[in-house]
Chain A
Amino acid sequence: MPTKRPHSAKSAKSRAAKSARPAKAAATGPSAKIGPIDPNLLRPSAAFPPQVIAEIHRAADQGLYEIRGFGTKRKLPTFDDLLLLGASVSRYPLEGYREKCDTNVVLGTRFAKKPIELKIPITVAGMSFGSLSANAKESIGRACTAMGTSSTTGDGGMTEEERRASKTLVYQVLPSRYGLNPDDLRRCDAIEVVIGQGAKPGGGGMLLGQKISPRVAKMRTLPQGIDQRSASRHPDWTGPDDLTIKLQELREITDWEKPIYVKIGATRTYFDTQLAVKAGADVIVLDGMQGGTGATQDVFIEHVGIPTLPALRLAVDALMELDMHRKVQLIVSGGIRSGADVAKALAMGADAVSIGSAVLVALGCNRPVHVEEYRALGTEPGFCHHCHTGRCPVGVTTQDEKLQARLDPERGGRWLRNYLSTLTLELQTMARACGKTHVLNLEPEDLVALTVEAAAMARVPLAGTKWIPGQGGY
Chain B
Amino acid sequence: MQIVDLAQSNVRTLNQRLHDLPRDTNERAWRILNPRGAHAVAVGLNLAVEIHVEGHVGYYCAGMNKEATVVIHGQCGWGVGENIMSGLVRVTGNASQAAGASGHGGMVVIEGDAGPRCGISMKGVDIVVGGSIGNFSAFMAQAGNLVVCGDAGDALGDSLYEADLYVQGKVASLGADCVEKKMTPKDAKTVAALLAKAGIKADVARFRHYGSARKLYHFHVDHADAY
Contact = CB atoms under 8 A, between A and B. Distances in A.
Interface of A: 62-64, 67, 176-178, 180-183, 185-186, 208-209, 220-223, 226-227, 229, 231, 235-237, 242, 245-246, 248-249, 252-256
Contact of A223 (B78, B79, B162, B221): B162
Given A242-B78, A248-B40, A253-B63, A222 B58 contact: no
Given A177-B101, A236-B60, 11 more contacts: A64-B224, A181-B64, A185-B44, A221-B123, A227-B217, A229-B159, A235-B140, A236-B79, A246-B60, A252-B40, A253-B40
B66 interface: yes
- Majority secondary structure, A binding face: loop
Interface of B: 11-12, 15-16, 19, 39-40, 43-44, 46, 58-60, 63-64, 66, 78-79, 82-83, 85, 97-98, 101-102, 104, 117, 120-121, 123-124, 139-140, 142-143, 159, 161-162, 216-221, 224, 227
A177 B43 CA distance: 17
A249 B60 contact: yes
Contacts of A208: 219
B101 A249 contact: no
A245 B219 contact: no
Contact of B102 (A67, A209, A226, A236): A236
Sorted from nearest, which 9 A-B pairs have the closest CB atoms? A63-B221, A253-B44, A236-B79, A177-B102, A182-B64, A236-B98, A236-B101, A226-B217, A249-B40
B161 A236 contact: no
Contacts of B221: 62-64
B83 A182 contact: yes
Contact of B124 (A221, A227, A256): A221
Contacts of B161: 222-223, 226
B46 A182 contact: yes
A246 B216 CA distance: 31
A181 B46 CA distance: 11
B142 A221 contact: yes
B98 A235 contact: yes
Nearest to A173: B83
A350 B16 CA distance: 34
B20 to A, nearest CB: 9
A245 B16 contact: no
19 contacts: A177-B83, A177-B121, A180-B83, A182-B66, A182-B85, A208-B219, A226-B217, A227-B217, A231-B140, A236-B120, A237-B59, A237-B78, A245-B40, A245-B78, A246-B59, A246-B60, A248-B39, A253-B44, A253-B63
A177 B98 contact: no
Contacts of A222: 142, 161
B49 to A, nearest CB: 15
A249 B43 contact: yes
A180 B19 contact: no
Contact of A67 (B16, B97, B219): B219
Contacts of A231: 121, 139-140
Contacts of A229: 159, 216, 227
B50 to A, nearest CB: 19
Contacts of B46: 182
Contacts of B82: 235-236
A326 to B, nearest CB: 27
A236 B205 CA distance: 33
A232 to B, nearest CB: 11
Given A67-B219, A227-B218, A252 B98 contact: no
